Structure 1
Amino acid sequence: MTKTHHISDREKKFAAMLEDALSRPGVREVMQVYQWWQKQDQALDSYRSATKEIPHILTSDRANIS
């Protein structure tokens, strides 16, 4: 038994839009640069989370009673 995939109108419109965009000069290259940038940006996520500003917490063993 094979499972058939029903293509929705939205998927058809998306495919047509993508095909039209990719037929234009330079669009494919811009998409490749953007995908490369996304990978580079994601690679920096661990660095960003490790270098977040750490809140200063002050503790004391004395009460500030005047």
Structure 2
Amino acid sequence: MENSQKRNRNILYWLAIFAAVAVALYFIADRWFPQLVSKFTSLIAGAFLVVTGLFLRKKKRS
């Protein structure tokens, strides 16, 4: 049980580090390439909505 909690904590640490790096890169890129970042953000938001819709549709059918 302890090993599982330690592994989950390590995964959370890695996710937090990855998120911090991603946010930092986002703001750095936003400063140099604002048009590219806005298009990329729109693409990610659209993909998230499509995937969420597909997931909820499958869940509703079950």
Please tell me the TM-score bracket, short chain as reference: 0.3 to 0.5
Question: Which has the bigger relative contact order, CA under 8 A and spacing at least 6?
Answer: 2
For the pair shown, the structure with the greater C-alpha radius of gyration is 1
TM-score scaled by length of structure 2: 0.40
Q: Which has the higher helix share?
A: 2
